[in-house]
Amino acid sequence: MQYFKRLKKEFSGYSASAFAGDVMAGITVSAVALPLALAFGVSSGATAASGMITAILAGIVIGLLSGASYQISGPTGAMAAILVSLAAAYGMNGMLTAGLISGILLILAAVFRLGRLVAYIPSPVITGFTSGIALVIALGQIDNFFGTVSEGTGVAEKLISYTSLGFKPHLFTVLFGVLAIAIMVLWPKKWNAKVPGSLIAIIVCLILNMVLSPEGVAVVGEIPRTILSPDRLRLTNIPFKDMGALISPAISIAALGMIESLLCGASAGKMKDEKLDANQELIAQGVGNILLPFFGGIPATAAIARTSVAIKSGQRTRITGIVHSLILLASMFLLSPFMSRIPLSALAGVLMVTAWRMNEWHFIKYIFRNKLKFPIIQYLVTMIVTLFSDLTIAIIAGVVVSMILYVVQSNLNIAVEKADKTVIFRLSGILFFGSQEKLLESITENTADAEEVVLDFAGLAVFEDSVSGELHTTIASLKESGKTVRLEGLAGKIAAQAERAGITELVKK
C-alpha cells in the first residue's frame, strides 16, 4: 500500500536528533495553534472547548493518516465562516452532523479521485473566496469586539439588525479588542517565528482582565478538562429530520476541506520539496471529520499557517503534529481555569488581524495594479458571492464566470526535446488556468537532470494572466536549483504578458 511505503521512507534513518527537531517544531506550532483554536471554536458558533478538541484530535488522527509528512490540521478561519451560520440555523447537533456528512463526502472524493479538480479552479477565484471568507470572519466578530448584540444568521441580516437593536459599544470590551490588535500588528516579525504575537495578545488581555475584573466583559467561559465534550454528537441525537437541509452545507464543508487541504499541501510541498498524495490526504481529512463530531469537535482542514510554521521550525516527520496536539491537550487540562477568563473581544481582535492576513495581497495588488480585467472580474464576483451566499455557490459562480470570459478549452500542446543537459519545451495552443498544471507537471518531470531549460513560446496563441504567478514561481525554483532558463519565441502580446508578469526580467537575472 502506498501509504505504508511513504511512512517507511519518511522514517528511514530516523534519529534522536530528528526526533528532537520534531519536538521543538511541535512546541512552536502549539504556541501558534492555541489562540487560534480558541478563537475559531468561538467564531464557528460552537465553543472554545470545541476548537481545542478539534485541534487536538485533528493533529493526531489526520496528521497520522496524512498524504505528506508536514500537514498540520485543525480548525480554520475559512471553515468557521461557513459553520457560524449553520450553527445559528440548525444548532450544534446540526453543525456536527453536517461535519460528519462532509467526512463521508471527502472519502468518496478520494475514491473517485476528485482532488485533481482543484487544479482547474483559477487563481483569481481562489483569491476571491479567500477574501470573501476573510470579510465574513471580520464582520462576524463585530458583536464580540464591541460588546454589542445583533440578530440574524447571515452577514447582511446582522448588520441590518443594528438599525432596530441599536449599536452601543462597551468601553472595556473594545479596549481589550484594540489592545489585542495593536500587539499583533506591532509584535516584531523576527520574534513572531518563535513566540506568535497572537499568543502574547491573549496572555496580556487575560492578565489585565484578571487584575482589573471590569464589569460587562464577556469571556470564553468554562472549558471542560476532557476531550469528550458534553455537546458531542451521539447516534441517538442525529437530527434525521434536517438531513435533507444539511446536505448542501455539508457539500460546502467538504469542498472547502478539499480545497484548503490540497492547496496547503501544494504550497507546503514546495517549501519542503515533498509532493502531497492528494487522495491519501482526502482519506485522512475524511476519517478525521467523521470522528470529530462524536467528540464535540468542529470540521477541520489542513492549515497553511500552522503547517508553514512547522516546516520553518525544523519539522522532519508527522511526529510534529502529534507533539503539537499533546501540548494542546496538556494546556487544556492544566490551563483551562485561566483560558476561561480570556475576553471574547481579545479573541475577536486576533481573528480580525488573522482575517486581514488571510488575503493574498500580493496577487490582489498585481491584478489591480496591472488592470487585468478578466482576473479582476473573477476575483470580485467570487468574493461578493462568498460574502452573501456560500462557498460552493461562490466557487461555481467564479468558475462559470471564468468560462464565460475565456470561452476556450484546455488546448495546450507541449513538445519536449532533450539534447545533452538541455531540455526544450515547445509550447503551442492556449496556456490558461485549465492547462497550466499540464505545463508545470511536464517541467517537473523532465528537468531533474537538466542544466539548461528552454521555454519556446512561439506557438502560443494565448498566454492568460492568471497563469503568470505559478509560472514565475516555477522558473524561480529552477534558477534557485542552479539551472539556466532561457525564453524563446516571445513576440507581440505574449512578449508583453511575459514582461508584465516579471518573467522576462527574472530570466535575465
Strands (E), 237-385: 301-302
Interatomic CA distance for residues 361 and 382, integer angstroms: 16
Tell me how many degrees the CA angle 246-249-251 measures, rounded to the nearest 5: 105
Cα–Cα distance for residue pair 124/378, rounded to 1 Å:
6
Nearest to 147 by CA among 123, 175, 169, 126: 169
Give every CB contact of residue 143 below 8 A, 6+ residues apart in sequence.
149, 150, 158
Q: 478 with 448: CB under 8 angstroms?
A: no
Separation between Cα atoms, residue 143 and residue 458, nearest integer Å? 57
C-alpha cell at 400: 462559470
Give the Å distances, CA to CA, from 35 to 53, 109, 134, 185, 486. Answer: 13, 32, 18, 16, 47
The Cα-based distances of 116 to 101, 113, 266, 282 in angstroms read: 21, 7, 12, 11
Cα separation, 56 vs 100, in Å, equals 17
Q: What are phi and psi of 219, to 5 degrees?
A: -125, 170
Alpha-carbon distance 435 to 249, whole Å? 30
Task: Please tell me the distance from the alpha carbon of residue 450 to that of residue 69, in angstroms, as a whole number.
Answer: 28
Q: Say if residues 52 and 328 touch (Cβ distance below 8 Å).
A: yes
CA angle 50, 317, 351 (to 5 degrees): 35
Point out which residues pair with 427 in neighbouring strands.
414
Written as tens digits, the pLDDT of the chain (509 aa) is: 789 999 999 999 999 999 999 999 999 999 989 999 999 999 999 999 999 999 999 999 999 999 999 999 999 988 988 898 899 889 999 999 999 999 999 999 999 998 887 777 788 888 888 898 889 889 989 999 999 999 877 778 888 899 899 999 999 999 999 999 999 999 998 888 778 899 999 999 999 999 999 999 999 988 888 999 999 999 998 998 989 999 999 999 999 999 889 988 888 888 888 989 999 999 999 999 999 999 999 999 999 889 988 998 889 999 999 999 999 999 999 999 999 999 999 999 999 998 898 898 988 998 898 877 778 888 999 899 888 876 678 878 887 887 776 654 456 788 899 988 999 999 887 887 777 888 888 999 999 889 999 999 888 878 888 788 888 889 999 998 999 999 998 888 888 888 888 888 888 87
Strand partners, 463: 431
Q: Over the Cα atoms of the chain, what is R_g?
A: 24
Q: Side chain identity at 118, as an amino acid letter?
A: V
All cell numbers assigned to 335: 490551563
Q: pTM, whole model, 2 decimals?
A: 0.75
Q: How many CB atoms are located within 10 Å of the residue 361 CB?
A: 12
| Parallel, antiparallel or unpaired: strands 412-419 and 422-431 | antiparallel
Cβ neighbours around 340 below 10 Å, total: 16
Output the 3-class SS for 26-62: HHHHHHHHHHHHHHHHHHCCCCHHHHHHHHHHHHHHH
User: Residue 106 corresponds to which cell in the numbers above?
Assistant: 471527502
| Cβ–Cβ < 8 Å for 454, 427 | no
